[in-house]
Amino acid sequence: MSNRTKPGPRPSTRSHRPRKPAIRTAFGPDNSLNFLRLVFAALVMIAHGWALGQFGLFRLGRYEVSALAVDSFFVISGFLVTRSNVRVGTTARFLWHRFLRIYPAFWVCLVVVAGFFAPLGWLHAHGALDGFLDANHGPVQYIVRNSTLHMQFYDVSGTPAGNAPGTAPATGPASWNGALWSLWWEFLCYLGVAILGAIGVLRRRRVVVAVLTAVMWFAVVVHHLTPDVAGTLLGSPFAEGALRLGPLFLCGSLLFLYGDRVPVSGRLAAAAAVAVTGSMFLSEPHLILAPPLAYLCLWLGIRLPFHRIGAKNDLSYGLYIYSSPVQHLLALHGLHRHGVLVYFSAFTVGSAALAAGSWFAVEKHVLKLKHWTPGRLKTERPFFWPTQATRRRVAPRVAFPRQEDRLETPARGTLPEAGTIEHPGATGT
């Protein structure tokens, strides 16, 4: 009888591939979302300048690049704003943060347009400022009536209508800064997140957000496939805006809420890029655009190495809200006739200078007030409006894994940005 024993199974030579990290694990303070937002603001500026200077339309397939940049703003905003709501813990504090991020710089922009750009436009058209203050849609009306974010009109005393290429009557009503209408939609999204957070959906019933996203996507499909049937209910300007922007914002929200299940995968990002590119050639890109665009933006934000760009000084909001007035004023004086290089260089420098002024003179200072608490609430209602000292004592309403708590800190120097959309009456989408 042989003394040799039967050999056991050979050890596997295949190495076990490490499991891909989930979005919630991989996303931390060192992300590149600020860089992406700056890129998207620059794309909107370039696309608008290209059209305003009568150099053509800046398209990818059948879709304008500026519109794609706008959509990207909303998916990023959905992720960051939902994250902010969950982290902050109270509706009042959340809305205070959102107010600080969007309103003060917006109000200053209204004043700058009404008090600087519009008078120069009127002076160019009439040779004197006589009648400027008393004209319909005068500067005071422009500031007061538009101060809620819901823009009532976009001209100031009729300027810049007929004075610059790409303005009325060829492309719609006069508009110094049609991009400002996006801020109203952005704030509506903030209010939606505030409501969902207040009733506990974001922390305890994230499936509700998934269902809401599916319902809105289904409405997009119905509206596109049966416009005659759905036109009465879904054909209004408000409904069309909601169906475009709502799914984008909600898909960003879902990537945060389900970030523990969605992997950070290069293959998924490549597939998402193909899907986004393909959607640009559809008659209605939003039939498939929102989910892949949201994933692609988050993947780029995690994987790109541009962590420091915009981490301390975020110029994307200012670049967006000031580029259009600068472009119009330069076009009024015919600078676009000197060619693309001269016109683009001039409005880029001018827009960047005003964006820097907006950040360093306005946004950076008001954001320091995010931890301010009304005097009576400091002692009477800390849970409604928690201070830094009391926030740690407020029990969280969501059970995120403890080892990931350190990843829930905000990106350095950043509060979620306002999104951007071009006004339909202005150049752009």
Query: 331-368: per-residue pLDDT in tens?
Result: 998 898 998 999 999 999 999 999 999 999 999 999 99
Residue 109 inside a domain? The answer is: yes
Peptide bond into 169 cis (omega under 30): yes
In a domain? residue 429: no
The residue among 79 and 58 whose pLDDT is bigger is 79
What percent of the chain clears pLDDT 70, i.e. is strictly above it? 78
Residue 10 is assigned to a structural domain of this protein: no
In a domain, 4, yes or no: no
Phi, psi (5° rounding) for residue 59? Answer: -120, 155
- Residue 328 tokens read as 């119009």
Q: For 206-240, how does the pLDDT look when each residue is reduced to its tens digit (9 = 90+)?
A: 999 999 999 999 999 988 888 776 666 776 788 88
Q: How large is the angle between the packed helices 118-126 and 316-332, nearest 10 degrees?
A: 10
Q: Tell me: the pLDDT tens digits for 119-167? A: 999 999 888 898 899 888 999 999 999 999 999 999 999 898 654 555 4
- Quick check: 51 and 166 in contact, CB under 8 A? yes
Q: DSSP character for 137?
A: T
Residue pLDDT, tens place only, 40-52: 999 999 999 988 8
Looking at the domain assignment, is residue 92 inside a domain?
Answer: yes
Structural domain of residue 387, as residue ranges?
Answer: 23-408
- The band of 17, judged by pLDDT with boundaries at 50, 70 and 90, is low
Q: How far apart are CA 277 and CA 289, in angstroms?
A: 9
**To the nearest 5 percent, what fractions of the chain are helix, strand and coil?**
60, 0, 35
- Domain assignment present for residue 46? The answer is yes
Q: Is the pLDDT of residue 380 over 50?
A: no
* Residue 240 within any structural domain of the chain: yes
**Could you tell me the pTM of the whole model?**
0.82
| Residue 281, domain member (yes or no) | yes
Q: Tally the domains of the chain.
A: 1
